[in-house]
Copies of this chain bind each other. A is one copy, B any other.
Amino acid sequence: MIDITLLGTAALVPLPDRALTAVTLTCAGHTVLFDCGEGTQSAARKAGVSLMKADLIALTHYHGDHIFGLPGLLQTMCCLGRTDPLYITGPAGLKEELAPILKLAGWTSYELKLITLPDEGLRLAELVNGWPWEAKLTPFSTEHRVPSQGYCFTLGRAGKFMPQKAKDLGVPMNQWGLLQKGQSVHLDGAVILPEQVLGEPRKGLKFVFSGDTTACPALTKAAEGADLLISEATYGENEQAGTAVDHGHMNFAQAALTASQARAKLLWLAHYSQMIEDPQEYLPNAAQIFENTVCGQDGMSVTLSFEKD
């Protein structure tokens, strides 16, 4: 089960009802924050999401409207006495780009660890205890005007547990849980592997966040079969397709085409230019191409659950 909350849908300039970019993903009580525009703290409070226990902040790029909420958030975490390390990741240039932000944030009561995610993705359990073993975050390069990356979060799901097989193999019941979680069990010198007691792996969950980018093959590939794609959709009009490309962005139609090509299940649009007063007005431009498109709004959230067996 994954909870996704879209905290802000504004591009460039914050508006009273539209905060700058930030999205949270919570799973098994642990949270990743994607981007942190100015006002993210306040938007999270409004949405009833706690950022205090976020383990990782995953930045898509270093433009101000995606990162200027960091100094305040880092200080608040300190004021509230955080001691757990906080990881921050992002595309090339992380250390240099964050230097003035860390300078502003000043001393923190917790360790700040700047990390680069491996191309093949990182099991979040390897970073912080408590994340499901199957939770993995994979960055992918996007095409903006500066180094940028999107993120693909997957929650794998093991095959159905077959108790009879475990019994037959002589695994004590108190170790069944380990096998169900995908871990091996050592038994009198023998090693019992999870696949020995589990059925075929089942469909897991996938969430993809585009960050700022033009429509590009890497995004389509990452979003393949995603349960939810949150995509930037800076411009509303179909006629703005060229402008969008020139500025390293997408319009509604381009975002929808990406979702359609990727056979995603659900598309939320976000990162609206302030020229877009009411995103709903432009929704048909996307929905004609990908029916299951929703105009994202600040505070909107969804729970993604495994399919029923």
Contacts and interface: CB of A to CB of B under 8 A. Distances in A.
Nearest to A20: B72
A79 B39 contact: no
B101 A38 contact: no
A64 interface: yes
Contacts of A228: none
B71 A42 contact: no
Secondary structure type dominating chain A contacts: helix
A71 B68 contact: yes
Q: Determine the interface band of chain A, counting residues with CB < 8 A from chain B.
A: 20 to 34
Interface of A: 12-16, 19-20, 38-39, 41-42, 45-46, 64-65, 68-69, 71-72, 75-76, 79, 99-101, 103-106
Contacts of A15: 42, 45
Nearest to A79: B12
Contacts of A75: 64-65
A14 B68 contact: no
- Most chain B beta-carbon contacts within 10 A, residue among A15, A42, A103, A105: A42
Nearest to A39: B39
